[in-house]
Copies of this chain bind each other. A is one copy, B any other.
Amino acid sequence: MDFFFEPNGIAVVGATPEPQSGGLNLLVNLTRGYKGPIFPVNPKYNHILGLKCYPRVSEINGPLDLCIIFVPAKAVPRVLEDCVLKGVRGVMIESGGFAEVGPDGKALQEQCLAIARRGGIRIWGPNCMGLIDTAKPYIFSFVIPKDMEEAIRPGPISLIVQSGLLSGGFIITLMGNKTLGLSKICSIGNKSDVAENELLEFLTDDPATKVICLYLESFMNGRRFFELASSSKKPIVVLKGGKTPSGAKASFSHTASLAGDYELIKGILRQARVVQADDFFEMMDIARTLEKNFYLRRVRAGKPRIAILTYSGASGIVTADHMDPYGLILADLSPQTRKRLQELSPDWMPVKNPVDYWPAIEKNGPSLAYKHALETLHEDPEVDGIIVHIYAGHGIWLLNPKEILSGVKGSRKPILFWLIGPEKNREATRLPLEEEGWPTFHEIHRTVRVMGSLFEKPG
């Protein structure tokens, strides 16, 4: 895989100076981070972006590991023949029009694969968005350069995506949120050759990757995937496309995948201790929380016991209502904890779980009340995880996250925050919380679901 991730020489077949085009985006993105030789290929031009342009791959002078191909599908076999001549090691076919469009496209894809196999070339794609390695940054993709430039944010989560466009727009949205950092993004489209298992193995050994997320419409080799996932020391989160009859039908059109029986797949994934998500942002919310390496009491017989700290009784109730499906239960707070929490709460307000701490907040100010409650709940051996509700508003309601969490010592149990408030103030609380490693969420159901996911795969 090294010639994909760290190639010596890259050609862009279908490069063009045309504004707003994918062929230009590819070149611009390459020049932004890749330090090796870059070769535009297009018979119409002598130079693009000041780089010498070649009429065909076989005429390139210089080392050339990787060809990124972005020409109409019908033209691809000829390009591949040329790549064989040159002795290229890998190609990324980012154009569409292959197996996903019907029998003709499927035949074309098989023709490409045959040429590549004969010439000892590996194929990434087709119908994909290529590879991004944010740390370098290597952007082997036609994503919009300005969007990517503004958003890029290195981090510990890597993605394998059996799709094209999604990975572009989606990762830009994700990273732009200033919360989640990504490492490698592998968009493998129709995965005619390079597929999820090989990449999973690669990422399992990649020191920059701590959590691996996969969007898959099918499994190339389910048995091998199971082996890899079962033995992985890194958490794996899977979003399976084509779970329902409607989705499965759509999935066949997309990447020509046979979606398989989801009930069966679900059971196997669970056995392999893979966390399963149902939506894109959900997958990433789970991944960024798994990455925090919270201390998880190994839950054997019992269910994870959750404390809820809130300023709003109703929010506490709705949070509790969401726990059942994820196997979470309300913690039975220890007598010691009750006593300590009561210290700041007026006598008339008995301490229960959910801890409705509004009267204590009103009496002592939110800063002191939250600090005291977080420290106390975190120390309680009867509590495995804490969901905290914060309203970030003006004045005293603009909390200092460092301060309210200063009493949380030792191994960090999961403390997840549901955060609302006017946007500016909310951001002023959210970002420091995230920087200190405490995940925040905008919706209650998501907060609870992510808490549940932590305990699905005991650490």
Contact = CB atoms under 8 A, between A and B. Distances in A.
A362 B22 CA distance: 9
Interface stretch (A164-172, A193-201, A222-230): A164-172
Interface stretch (A75-83, A95-103, A402-410): A95-103
A182 B318 CA distance: 22
Tell me the dominant secondary structure on chain A's binding face: helix
Given A393-B169, A421-B147, A317 B247 contact: yes
Contacts of A349: 96-97, 101
Contacts of A172: 393, 420-422
13 contacts: A20-B395, A100-B313, A164-B312, A164-B313, A166-B315, A172-B421, A173-B422, A242-B321, A244-B324, A245-B324, A247-B321, A253-B356, A254-B316
A254 B215 contact: no
Determine which residue in A312, A323, A359, A394 has the highest number of CB atoms from chain B within 10 A of its CB, and name it: A312
Contact of A250 (B173, B244, B320, B394): B320
Given A101-B348, A394-B147, A318 B280 contact: yes
Contacts of A282: 443, 445
Q: How many of these chains are in the complex?
A: 2
Given A96-B359, A250-B330, A445-B278, A166 B314 contact: yes
Nearest to A143: B393
A359 B253 CA distance: 14
Interface in A121-153: 144, 146-147, 150-151
Determine which residue in A73, A247, A313, A423 has the highest number of CB atoms from chain B within 10 A of its CB, and name it: A313
A217 B318 CA distance: 10
Determine which residue in A73, A100, A170, A348 has the highest number of CB atoms from chain B within 10 A of its CB, and name it: A348
